[in-house]
Amino acid sequence: MNSHLFPHIGKVIASTGSRHFPRMLHDLILTQLAVDATHITQLRVSAEGHTRRLISPVYTDSVAALG
């Protein structure tokens, strides 16, 4: 892994749970891959270990950031 990724990874981890997380994750992905958009779906795990998929997709678009 390239050491230049560490600051990006730290920013993504620090933004977990905030409204900035999708953008930070998208920017991290862009450091290695040319993508136009990132789609994120939330998966919640209860204390008992049961998973429940919460359908709340987040769409991040590279073009919108440039415009």
Nearest to 56 by CA among 40, 34, 38: 40
**If pLDDT is split at 50, 70 and 90, which confidence band does 3 have?**
confident
pTM above 0.75, yes or no: no
Nearest to 33 by CA among 65, 62, 66, 3: 62
Count of H-run helices and E-run strands, the chain: 3, 2
- The pLDDT tens digits for 12-62 are 999 988 888 888 998 899 888 888 888 887 766 677 766 666 556 666 666
Q: Work out the number of other CB atoms within 10 angstroms of the CB of residue 30.
A: 16
